[in-house]
Structure 1
Amino acid sequence: MRVLTLPTIVNLRRLSIKRCGMREIEIEKTTSSSSSSWNKIHTAPYFSNLSKVFITKCHGLKDLTWLLFAPNLAFLQVSFSRQLEDIINQEKAASVENAATIVPFRRLETLHLSALRGLERIYWNALPFPCLKVIHVEKCWKLRKIPLDSNSGAGGKELVLSYGDREWIEKLEWEDQATRVRFLTSCRWHWRATQ
């Protein structure tokens, strides 16, 4: 298995990973434990200044759980990575020390997901997304639920759900009727002539 191990880079602000064949991205261990890097890893913000991440054509990746350690992430774009199943994997996240105290994507403003044919989950529960302005989803047909509830995105600005496929929005499963009512009016069809 090919693994990309990211060292702690406190001053890293932008990360772009393209055309890589790795199967997993891990965080460099800071303990002497010989167990998996996901077990008992410290929850210090390894990438405290990382604000933009671009992942493109990384076909072997299954998840991006390492993003739990980028608390100030504002922009995430993931595209053309056909085996990606989860943005944050529940099992891996549960094995992180103090996992219950980590709420991902608190600073996220833009989430752009496209051509991820294996993507099934962003996160398993609704998230607050206090800063989120735009979620764009295109050609992610297995993604049936967005981690929103009626309290998500309560930062005072409209949260726009932009989508590229009308059939996808029609099949989207909402947390409850209140969530559907709140966000369906802010859904925008993003048509492209190349479709």
Structure 2
Amino acid sequence: MVIEDVKIESSISEGVGCFHSLRSIYLFDCNQLRDASWIIFAPHLERLFIRDCQGLEEIISEEKLSEVAELKGNSNLFSKLEFLHLNNLPKMKTIYRHALLFPQLKRITILNCPMLKKFPLNSNSAKGRRLVIEGDEGWWKDVEWEEESTQIAFFPSFKHR
């Protein structure tokens, strides 16, 4: 079976948190999937591992998020996330288009994601944090930061592989 999209019915999304108990997601080899916006319904997500999804362009689609009005602009997105691992995603362009706080995030690993140039981080995301960002050295040099202060804040966090 080939998965191209995951749709959550509005009756389910009204009780936001239909994946309330979900703590870890391992998404591998879903080559037709363009985004994984359905993970917004996992409010307690701690670990997100995505690998070898050749068609994945973004994790959370702004367009799909706006379809769920009560979640639009939600600052609680990824509020429990501790580990984010992205590997071999050749079309990945964004995780999410706006900065998020990621209050629990400990480690981000980005490997073989050449199109991923923007992060949903800003200088507020770094406050009081000991975050480790691991990735390809060439990729790190090409990251486009919204503000220079964000780049400065996260520079000590980066470890090349």
Q: TM-score range by the shorter chain?
A: over 0.9
Q: Using the TM superposition, give the Cα deviation of residue 99 of structure 1 relative to its aligned residue in structure 2, in angstroms.
A: 2.5
Deviation digits for residues 80-130 of structure 1 (CA, Å, limit 9, x no counterpart): 001001100010101113133533100000000000001001000110000
CA distance in 2, matches of 1:100, 1:107: 18
Structure-1 residue corresponding to 2:144: 173
For the pair 1:30 / 2:29, whether they are aligned, the reply is no
CA distance in 1, matches of 2:100, 2:15: 19
Structure-2 residue corresponding to 1:48: 20
Which one scores higher on RCO, CA 8 angstroms, separation ≥ 6? 2
Gaps of 5+ in 1: 1-19, 32-40, 191-195
Structure-1 residue corresponding to 2:35: 63
TM-score with structure 2 setting the length:
0.93
Tell me the percent identity: 34
Q: Within 5 Å, which residues of 2 pair with 1:1-195?
A: 21-30=2-11, 41-42=13-14, 44-100=16-72, 102-103=74-75, 104-154=77-127, 156-163=128-135, 165-190=136-161
Find the structure with the greater CA-based Rg.
Answer: 1
Which is helix-richer, 1 or 2? 2
Aligned CA distance change for structure 1 residues 118 and 95 (closer, same or farther; 3 Å): same
The two structures, once aligned, show a CA RMSD in angstroms of 1.5
Count of paired positions: 160
AA aligned to 2:14 is: H
Q: Is the 8 A contact 1:132 1:153 kept in 2?
A: no
Q: Is the 8 A contact 1:43 1:98 kept in 2?
A: no
